[in-house]
Amino acid sequence: MQAANETRARLTAELCDSYMEKLFYFCLKKTSNNEDAEDLSQDIAYQIIAAINKGTVPLNFSAWVWQIARNRYSVWASNKHVRRELISDSDISDHELEDESGNILDGMIDAEQQALLRRELAFIKSDYRNIVVAYYIDDVNVREIAASLSLSVSAVQQRLHRARKMLKEGMEMSREFGKRSYHPENITFAASGDQPSGLPWKVVRRKIPINILLQASNNPSTIEELSMELGIALPYMEEEVEILHRATLLEKQGDKYVTNFFIMDKECRIADYNAMRENSKERSRLINEFIDDALPEIRALGIAGEHIGDNAIRWWLVPHLIDLLIEKTVKSKSVYEPPKRANGESWGFVGYELTELPEETVSGDNGRGPAGSLFRAYKYSGYDNMWHQCGEPDYDEVILLGDCLRNQRRTGSFTNNEASIWKKIDGRYAHADADGTIVSDVLVLSAEKLGLIEDLFAGHRNYAALVNGYTELYLKLEEILKQRSHRVLHKNIGYNIRMELYATRMMAVHDLVESGVLKLPEDPEKSSLGMSITLG
């Protein structure tokens, strides 16, 4: 029995995960009508699930699914020519519960009513639906149903009575599915932190879970409400919600679920942008003033070879100093790591409605390699080819580069494998001088040098004003986000403010490019601006 249940669960999950969207688009192509496609795809899914629940285990699941899909489309196409409005005056509740004369519902309604019935079966709870299917479709009597579910006969009768009432009410109404202000194709996501399991990305690859998250964002909803609003059959909705709940993207509150990460709509993003842009030019001026004053001392630390100009140091320093200010601010607010997850991982997730802002504010800070040879690359948006520049190194390239710089290695010491790896490094992040010694073309840092730069910054006359400015900005963003979010999101609001503050990196970069302080590279595809390696 357990094996059969596991097989049914596995096949149903495969249907939901791999076929539902494909079936819908198959139906849409055939019917050329969104509503007809929804009805037909639900009918196909119903037939498949009913067969699975009866014990069908196809040898070729894919072929079997598509055969049923084609068969149900043929039935739909035939019925389309003879459909008429509901003409039966029969009331589902007119029939006695103990009448076990066969498929009563199929006998009392015509083809269109059957489609309506199947639709309504998708929107009632499984406790009711399973009894209705067993009694009316599988022809199981009340006593057998009661025994199989460990219920009393009267309990089964009561559920049947309640289910018939819900089905009748549903069949007589015209369902209007809700319209959200935004749709999956208008949403982009960003994640940070430790994600070895593949979460959260592996559960938001399809439109159905994204739709659920959008609907439940700031809107606690029962599974039935989600099913009704999105027009997704309840069996599938139950499974999808459970997956999202286990992935910690939906939080359960009583019998309702609410998305537990921010999905920022257009209005919120614009409000955040305006708050951050309000005093950004003054922040940029104060940061640049520090760099002008401290650059000779920073260069004296030996973070850049003589062949690396001041412009390269500035491109790294601007976002790095802003990161220091953000860290100082969020630590004062007790914000440290992304939210801790049930599986022990620590990661954050944010959704953004695609919004046309006055400028590109997305930046990146990618790290690769072990602690003793950590390669970092700031990524800049808003300029042609500045996001990727010369590209980022693979892990084995970082290992070799760190070893060469730490031990002052020469190309003549390379093994065959190292020589092959060196070819991918040469001319991008480093080069060999006349005697073959490896020379870095990116900044070379250490924990000690980073600490000294931080000390210089903290001791500068502009530092207090910058910290105060970021503290005020933190409070403004907190007010904006709290006004636009359900209280369940407030416990991790500091993390989201932190993520928003990183937009000030690009605001400062844009300001300083515009003022001529930062010079764009002549050939971005060969540039490594903002890249560094930190040796331990």
Q: What pLDDT is stored for residue 425 in this prediction?
A: 97
Q: How much of the chain, in percent, has pLDDT values that exceed 70?
A: 87
Q: What pLDDT is stored for residue 154 in this prediction?
A: 85
Q: What pLDDT is stored for residue 161 in this prediction?
A: 81
Q: Find the mean pLDDT for residues 363-367.
A: 92
Q: What pLDDT is stored for residue 501 in this prediction?
A: 96
**Interatomic CA distance for residues 355 and 226, integer angstroms:** 26
pLDDT tens-digit map of 266-295: 999 999 999 999 999 999 999 999 999 999
Q: Which two tokens stand for residue 414?
A: 């390379």
**Interatomic CA distance for residues 189 and 248, integer angstroms:** 16
Residue with the bigger pLDDT between 116 and 530: it is 530
Q: Find the mean pLDDT for residues 318-329.
A: 96
String of DSSP letters for 460-514: STTHHHHHHHHHHHHHHHHHHHHHTS-GGGGGGHHHHHHHHHTHHHHHHHHHHHH
Between 66-70, 407-411, 412-416, 511-515, the lowest mean confidence (pLDDT) is in: 66-70
Q: What pLDDT is stored for residue 106 in this prediction?
A: 42
8-state DSSP, 201 = G
- Sequence-distant (≥ 6) Cβ neighbours of residue 481 within 8 angstroms: 262, 268, 272, 489, 493, 496, 497, 500
Instruction: Please report the domains of the chain, with CATH numbers, ordered by start residue.
Output: 2-172 (no CATH), 184-261 (1.10.10.10), 266-337+359-535 (no CATH)
- Sequence-distant (≥ 6) Cβ neighbours of residue 249 within 8 angstroms: 200, 203, 204, 213, 259, 260, 261, 349
**Interatomic CA distance for residues 54 and 417, integer angstroms:** 59
pLDDT of 96 > 80? The answer is no
Q: At 224, is the secondary structure helix, strand, or coil?
A: helix
Pick from 234, 184, 227, 231: nearest CA to 204 = 184
Q: What pLDDT is stored for residue 118 in this prediction?
A: 62
Q: What pLDDT is stored for residue 338 in this prediction?
A: 83
Q: What pLDDT is stored for residue 471 in this prediction?
A: 96
String of DSSP letters for 419-461: HHHHHHHBTTTEEE-TTSBEEESSEEE-HHHHHHHHHHHHTST
pLDDT tens-digit map of 120-177: 666 667 777 788 878 776 778 888 898 988 888 888 888 888 877 777 766 655 444 4
Q: How much of the chain, in percent, has pLDDT values that exceed 90?
A: 54
Residue with the bigger pLDDT between 357 and 101: it is 357
Q: Find the mean pLDDT for residues 443-452.
A: 97
pLDDT of 37 > 80? The answer is no
Helices (H), 81-152: 104-108, 111-121, 126-132, 142-149
Q: What pLDDT is stored for residue 363 in this prediction?
A: 94
Residue pair 391/521 in contact by the 8 Å Cβ criterion: no
pLDDT confidence bin for 231, thresholds 50/70/90: confident
Residue pair 226/257 in contact by the 8 Å Cβ criterion: yes
pLDDT confidence bin for 89, thresholds 50/70/90: very low
**Interatomic CA distance for residues 7 and 182, integer angstroms:** 37
Residue pair 142/153 in contact by the 8 Å Cβ criterion: yes
CA distances from 242 to 1, 203, 209, 370 (A): 23, 11, 11, 37
Q: Which two tokens stand for residue 497?
A: 């403010």
Between 88-92, 314-318, 427-431, the lowest mean confidence (pLDDT) is in: 88-92
φ and ψ at 49, to 5 degrees?
-65, -40
Q: What pLDDT is stored for residue 113 in this prediction?
A: 58
Q: Find the mean pLDDT for residues 100-117.
A: 47
pLDDT of 178 > 50? The answer is no
